[in-house]
Structure 1
Amino acid sequence: MIPAILDLASLKALYAGGLSPLDLVEEVIARRKASDDPAIFITQTPDDDLRAAANALVANAPQPNSLPLWGIPFAVKDNIDVAGLPTTAACPAFAYSPDRDATVVARLKAAGALVIGKTNLDQFATGLNGTRSPYGAPRSVFNKDYVSGGSSSGSAVTVASGLASFSLGTDTAGSGRVPAAFNNLVGIKPTPGLVPNVGVVPACRSVDVVTVFAATVGDGVAIRKIMDGLDTADPYSRKAVPAALPASSLRIGVLDGAEREFFGNAAVEALYDAAIERAKSLGATIVPFDYAPFRQAAELLYNGPWVAERLAAVKDFIATNADDFDPTVRKIIEGAGAYDAVDAFEGQYKLGHLRQKALAEWEKLDILMLPTSPTTYTVDAMLADPIVKNSHFGRYTNFANLFGYAAIAVPGGFGTDGLPSGVTLFGPSFSDDALAPFADAMHRAAASGMGKDKAVSLPEASKVAEPDDGLVTIMVVGAHLTGMPLNHELTGPGGKLVKTCRTAGEYRLYVLPNTTPPKPGLIREPGFEGKGLEVEVWKVTPQAFGRFVQNIPAPLGIGKVMLDDGSQVSGFLCEPYAVKGAQEVTELGGWRAYIASRKG
């Protein structure tokens, strides 16, 4: 059965089991016809052309999954060229017919992916809300009264509604991230220059980035890697020099004090606080930082000379076709006339000073974690105040490309209003791959599903592996927990806390008699349906692990323990004979709770 959300792992498994790309294409065609949002696409790949593409793929590469994206359907924002389909940038008078694919599209097609259509956007990629298009306003898949986010509006909705496995957007000010948050998706925003922009209608050419909307971080990173690579036809294309991040104990910068602005949206603020707690549980160190220089840089993108770069992209067209522009887009672009060359240089100088202040904050941080958007609005509210409310969406996004950062937006759960929110993780230039494992862990910990399917579990096959840091993972359940008497045996040799989590439900916990300090016995009982027990996962050097294991007294030992996310880790287990007649404390949920109950 084809799942509601077309993630890569599920489709590859179905293809391995006998599903054909033509079968999937027929499903996509049926879903397009059944869609209740008429504003998603500007141009759909005709049904017969889509069938022909699937048949051609099988003829040229008959073995299932023989190409990285064999038979994977994707959609393309309509400011990115696809040969055979018009490019409009959501302005009919601007439309042209490209004779070749954009570099990124060509690379994805060569990997076996199938284009299902061109998606709607805020005209000329100017906006973060999705209402600035003559083709209509795509809506949030969770509430049709609300905006989908922009400018890559239709691209996000195609993935969130199950029409495509992934889609391409562009991101100048946050357009590859805000729609992800509003539709419970992952948004991959590469470091500027990592993915080439050849064949993309520019918004601000010097800071534009092609992005990926996907169901999981693993999917998005795999797709981005196919698009990566120097293209000398793009003056801003760069050869990547990957940047590393600590494998554990990340120092994560979060908002504090007056810089926490949610424009009255308590639901989003609560979800941000919940994300901070999840980051702590994953072993991160939370560090409040001064967002002011980042915010001031963000304000330059629309309230500074960079708006003149938007005029540079369309100056000849707007000179003859001003009446064909969306009124709000026209107002923004024509506002560029207030800036001259002196302003442009002064803006660069100001950005440079702000960059230095931001670098000072980075001295105490490894990554930033910010709300992807501090709030959301209905379509009617956005249309009533289109510039001010749009600016609210960009409060925590606009700085990223000006400073050259990598970013990954991940779902952050659903508020009391039933709407999704998300957080974005930012890292230094070319930390794109290094950001991915923690971003994936945050998405999985949020347990918010994928797209419109809030209940589905993320496939284990799409999990992003931690980089090999040469350390050994060990799970502790009792006296070695943080703050407990034997924790020094982990911290002394430099052990690092990875995360706090729970075991699977089939484990019981007992108090071992006659142990000093008191120790628990963890026993696996197949068929027992408990709620899991709180444990910690640490990393230590192989030498420390060896000494640690050697000193473990009987009846304890090290074995494989199943965690509640389905993964397995080496950890403390007890021989069953030792707990006969011992006090069981499973119902308390963990050793820490048991110790607290004794003190009470």
Structure 2
Amino acid sequence: MITAVERVRAAYARIAQVDRPEVWICLRPQAETEADAAAVDKRIAAGERLPLAGTVFAVKGNIDVAGLPTTAGCPAYAYIPDADAPAVARLKAAGAVVLGTTNLDQFATGLVGTRSPYGTVRNAVDPNRVSGGSSSGSAVSVALGIADIALGTDTAGSGRVPAAFNGIVGLKPTIGLVPTEGVVPACASLDCVTVFARTLPEAERALSLMAAPSGRRVTAPAPRRPGPWRIAVPEPEQLGQLDTGWVEAFQAAAQLLADAGAELLPVDLTPFTEAAAMLYEGAFVAERYTAVGAFIDSHAGSPDLDPTVAGIISRAKNIPAHQLFADRQKVASLRARALASLGDADALLLPTAPGHPTIAEVAADPLGANARLGRYTNSTNLFDLAAVAVPAGEVNGLPFGVMLIGPTFTDERLVPIAGLLTAPPLRLAVIGAHLSGQPLNGQLLAVGGRLVRTTMTAPAYRLYALDTLPPKPGLVRVGKGGSTIEAEVWQLPAQGLGALLAALPRPMALGSVELADGSFVTGFLCEPQAVEGAREITSFGGWRAYVHALPRPEDRR
């Protein structure tokens, strides 16, 4: 396992190699960062459990890191915080080491990554294209292999658009799941801290360590109806104008979910796109003026202010209060329509953005180009939803990304669904209580399992009735003297199989089960010593036949 010091040294070597100074606002001196890493290694050597030991991370420049200037992308705004933001503190407590703070669209206002006096953050794959904003530097630091994870923020899509443009994962939690203390607000009621990573497991682990309610009571999501994952997918004509090849790439992602067992459902995208237009065109932008408007007014004409950002925020000064209340009512109505359209779908699948502009295209039309990028992302926080953005291949040599949006506090459901797009599904053979109609079958359905076929094992097994609750069988491979046993083969997302394994009680275990056609599939087996004294039921040919042969309760009476 790599040590924290070794990982820090590798990060700084990579920084020198890629030569992207625009990524950083404040990069810590290597000696200082190595000292923190050495302290982590010492704690590990002393026996502490630090789940992020050997991890380095970057922090968006509007999030407090003790001792480093928080600039929000504006040098004149800078202040030195005495304490870390809670999200930063929790990652550090888990053993992660901060490399520095990253560049962003000033005051987190933009989806392009070009609105900063610290320079335009170029895309990690094609330097002529935008990196996406506002969390531009954080996303690129991960995509270039410098940081393992990075923190961003997301009000209108800033934790997702940069992920899509740079081919990485972006998790945007439900508002309030991660505290926003120590974050310079964009729109305080809509802001959330996000995480970038190269893989879903890395992002999920970081989010779980940061998560804790902040000023909001977290309630469990409504139980989902059993069955395969249900994914709402809009028709191509509702997506609007996409870059060449992006409609086909989106349809391929939807087909991948279907091939993995998901049920695709129709959805009306209209309430989502209508709300998206309101985020900047309506009164909600006034909250940006509340956050930093007085500062911008007092620094009018300063070279430290990005003119596009300053114009957007300054114009919000005179929005009347009645318009804000009217817009709130309209969003509430649109949200009700959106949720009704989703029905019992677990998630909505969308392209993360409609296209990927060049830096020159954004410079020619800074407002129009930026507005287009928020078509699918702007409504998420207005509707109080969770989201995850993941890579979904390439189009013309550039990363293409999709996102899954789910109801409030369904964050944990979105990750295994997204896993269907990033990892091939796995197959599992079951022979007992997980069979269709049996007591534990719901565990397979709950993690997105889909029945592939009913079959038999090879004639090499014996079956026993174990004394467990609920009753279940033990399958033991014996080679000679064995028999065929009824089995079902289920298809599961990789994360789903991992969840089942984590909850699997002894004496059950996962192993390789040979089927009648000679193929081998991962399946539930039993430790041989556990069947000592158990009733052998091999002659029944399967668990269901044995259960059906048992006396009914009324017969036993």
Task: Give the TM-score taking structure 1 as reference length.
Answer: 0.73
> Alignment partner of 1:147: what SS?
coil
Which residue identity lines up with residue 352 of structure 1 in the other structure?
Answer: A
By how many angstroms is 1:361 displaced?
0.9
Measured in 2, the distance between the counterparts of 1:188 and 1:65 equals 28
Correspondences of 1:102-141 after superposition (within 5 Å): 102-141=85-124
By how many angstroms is 1:366 displaced?
2.4
Measured in 1, the distance between the counterparts of 2:156 and 2:315 equals 17
> Alignment partner of 1:323: what SS?
coil
Q: Is 1:573 the equivalent of 2:515?
A: yes
Number of corresponding residues:
479
CA displacement, residues 102-125 of structure 1 (integer Å, 9 cap, x when unaligned): 111111111111000101100100
Specify every segment of 5 or more residues in structure 1 that has no aligned partner in the other structure, as ranges: 1-13, 447-462, 475-488, 503-516, 524-541, 547-552, 577-600
CA displacement, residues 196-216 of structure 1 (integer Å, 9 cap, x when unaligned): 100000000000000000122
> Alignment partner of 1:159: what SS?
helix
> Alignment partner of 1:143: what SS?
coil
Measured in 2, the distance between the counterparts of 1:562 and 1:94 equals 53
1:182·1:420 contact (CA, 8 Å) conserved in 2?
yes
What is aligned with 1:86?
69
> Alignment partner of 2:21: what SS?
coil
2:276·2:377 contact (CA, 8 Å) conserved in 1?
yes
Specify every segment of 5 or more residues in structure 2 that has no aligned partner in the other structure, as ranges: 460-469, 475-481, 498-509, 519-557
Which residue identity lines up with residue 272 of structure 1 in the other structure?
Answer: F
Q: 1:442 aligns with which of 404, 410, 421?
A: 421
Q: Is 1:361 the equivalent of 2:353?
A: no
Q: Is 1:261 the equivalent of 2:240?
A: yes
The alpha-carbon distance between structure 1 residues 136 and 64, as it changes in their structure 2 partners (threshold 3 A), is farther
Measured in 1, the distance between the counterparts of 2:299 and 2:35 equals 37
What is aligned with 1:271?
249
What is aligned with 2:549?
none
1:556·1:573 contact (CA, 8 Å) conserved in 2?
no
By how many angstroms is 1:303 displaced?
0.7
What is aligned with 2:331?
351
Which residue identity lines up with residue 369 of structure 2 in the other structure?
Answer: K
2:420·2:493 contact (CA, 8 Å) conserved in 1?
no
By how many angstroms is 1:554 displaced?
7.2
What is aligned with 2:383?
403
1:558·1:571 contact (CA, 8 Å) conserved in 2?
no
1:558·1:572 contact (CA, 8 Å) conserved in 2?
no
2:452·2:489 contact (CA, 8 Å) conserved in 1?
no
Report the RMSD for the aligned CA atoms in angstroms: 3.5
The alpha-carbon distance between structure 1 residues 338 and 33, as it changes in their structure 2 partners (threshold 3 A), is same
Which residue identity lines up with residue 93 of structure 1 in the other structure?
Answer: A
> Alignment partner of 1:146: what SS?
coil
> Alignment partner of 1:322: what SS?
coil
Task: Give the TM-score taking structure 2 as reference length.
Answer: 0.78
Measured in 1, the distance between the counterparts of 2:32 and 2:104 equals 23
By how many angstroms is 1:356 displaced?
1.7
CA displacement, residues 339-368 of structure 1 (integer Å, 9 cap, x when unaligned): 111111111111111112112212252211
Measured in 1, the distance between the counterparts of 2:53 and 2:387 equals 27
Measured in 2, the distance between the counterparts of 1:80 and 1:119 equals 10
Sequence identity percentage: 44
Which residue identity lines up with residue 354 of structure 2 in the other structure?
Answer: P
What is aligned with 1:498?
449
CA displacement, residues 136-177 of structure 1 (integer Å, 9 cap, x when unaligned): 122222111111111000100111111011000000000000
By how many angstroms is 1:322 displaced?
2.3
By how many angstroms is 1:266 displaced?
2.5
Correspondences of 1:50-89 after superposition (within 5 Å): 50-63=33-46, 66-89=49-72
Measured in 2, the distance between the counterparts of 1:425 and 1:88 equals 31
Q: 1:392 aligns with which of 343, 350, 372?
A: 372
What is aligned with 1:187?
170
2:456·2:515 contact (CA, 8 Å) conserved in 1?
no
The alpha-carbon distance between structure 1 residues 244 and 123, as it changes in their structure 2 partners (threshold 3 A), is farther
2:380·2:386 contact (CA, 8 Å) conserved in 1?
yes
The alpha-carbon distance between structure 1 residues 364 and 100, as it changes in their structure 2 partners (threshold 3 A), is closer
What is aligned with 1:586?
none
Which residue identity lines up with residue 260 of structure 1 in the other structure?
Answer: L
CA displacement, residues 246-285 of structure 1 (integer Å, 9 cap, x when unaligned): 564122111115312233x132211100001011011111
By how many angstroms is 1:245 displaced?
4.0
Q: 1:377 aligns with which of 357, 360, 364?
A: 357
Which residue identity lines up with residue 48 of structure 1 in the other structure?
Answer: A
What is aligned with 1:335?
315
Measured in 2, the distance between the counterparts of 1:309 and 1:471 equals 54
CA displacement, residues 59-105 of structure 1 (integer Å, 9 cap, x when unaligned): 34425772111131000000000011111111111111111111111
Measured in 2, the distance between the counterparts of 1:308 and 1:402 equals 14
Which residue identity lines up with residue 279 of structure 2 in the other structure?
Answer: L
Q: Is 1:225 the equivalent of 2:213?
A: no
> Alignment partner of 2:32: what SS?
helix
Measured in 2, the distance between the counterparts of 1:59 and 1:242 equals 41
What is aligned with 1:423?
402
